[in-house]
Amino acid sequence: MKNKRIGAQTVKLSEPVVIAGVSSVVGPKEGEGPLGNLFDTVAKEALYGEDSWEKAESKFVTEALQLAVEKAGKTMEDIDYILCGDLLNQCTGTTFGIKDFKVPYFGLFGACSTMGESMSLGAMLLDGGFAENVLVGASSHFCAAEKQFRFPLALGTQRPPSATWTVTGDGSAVLSKKGKGPVITEITTGKIIDMGVTDTMNMGAAMAPAAVNVLTAHFKDTGRQPNYYDVIATGDLGYIGKQLVIELMAKEGYEMGENFTDCGIEIFDKQNQDTHSGGSGCACSAVTFASYFYKKLSEGEIGRMLFIPTGALMSPTTSQQGSTIPGIAHGVVIESRKE
């Protein structure tokens, strides 16, 4: 067997995996944001015609996955596996959204890093020869997340400046062995990093060290520097987390330049949308990639991209018990392949 491992945390696929089609279905607030006209579908209201936030999230999942398959020019019968996840307890946002598809399914939990995790594992399944087409994705819902992790929506609380805003929606992608489109070439899988942050209203700070772990491991494994990429995009670190990554990377001897951004910064307009430190949630990186970055990759505006969704591996119970917030990140190298 050809050895695909090129370092401690990085693998190189023997054949690039094609991202044949993507979809982004989002809520109204996301639709009003700077990326508003790039999303495939913008729901008119957060309930999306359902009677609970949880059911609404599942509908975002259903709609987005169907659309991704359609846009890839395939049908559900062509899909060998679905790999996706969300933030709700027991990943029910996903399972209730996909249960009628009748496609073999692996449920994933990587908190907000799930898009990176699903793309990584999907690409590995394809490269391992176990599938022809894999459907990957991740979802989150602001209202459902607030209800589960924080307070009832109608409670009059103040959010601190470091808080982020959970993105409502689902971003999905069809990964294929053949076809046209940007390709996944390498994967750097993160380790769980816990630097002792306990403030659940400052998730960017909790996750930044995990992003740094992926970045340093990736550069060490590949011998590259940050400027090798046209874009390096973390998932949902927000303004504070991004700043911390820049500082931590400088300590490690890497200079993060203008090419470094964060999906949580791209998706909302901080000034006009009152989103404080930026966007967050599984859908943050998923829908930003599936709209904004995928378009740029397809058009060749971005040649090489390092996509690093980030996640905070906590639950309300662990936080209430005073435990720290462990972070995780998943790095995926995506190339345009458009001459």
| Residues at the interface with another protein (CB under 8 A) | 51-52, 147, 151-162, 193-197, 202, 205, 209, 212-213, 216, 240, 243-244, 247-248
- DSSP secondary structure letters along 144-191: HHHHHHS--TTS-----TT--EEPPEEEEEEEESSSSS-EEEEEEEPP
The residue among 52 and 315 lying less far from another protein, judged by its C-beta, is 52
CB of 38 to another protein, least distance (A): 29
The residue among 104 and 161 lying less far from another protein, judged by its C-beta, is 161
The residue among 152 and 322 lying less far from another protein, judged by its C-beta, is 152
CB of 174 to another protein, least distance (A): 33
- H helix runs in the chain, sequence order: 28-31, 53-71, 92-98, 114-127, 142-149, 203-222, 238-251, 263-266, 270-273, 282-288, 294-298, 316-320
What are the angstrom distances between the C-alpha of 270 and each of 64, 97, 234, 248, 310? 26, 31, 17, 24, 20
* Proportion of the chain in helix, strand, coil states, percent, rounded to 5: 40, 25, 40
The residue among 215 and 263 lying less far from another protein, judged by its C-beta, is 215
CB of 263 to another protein, least distance (A): 19
CB of 243 to another protein, least distance (A): 5
Q: Which two tokens stand for residue 208?
A: 């930044």
What are the angstrom distances between the C-alpha of 187 and each of 11, 59, 96, 160? 5, 30, 29, 35
The residue among 1 and 155 lying less far from another protein, judged by its C-beta, is 155
CB of 193 to another protein, least distance (A): 5
Distance, CA of 318 to CA of 167 (rounded, Å): 23
CB of 150 to another protein, least distance (A): 11
The residue among 41 and 324 lying less far from another protein, judged by its C-beta, is 324
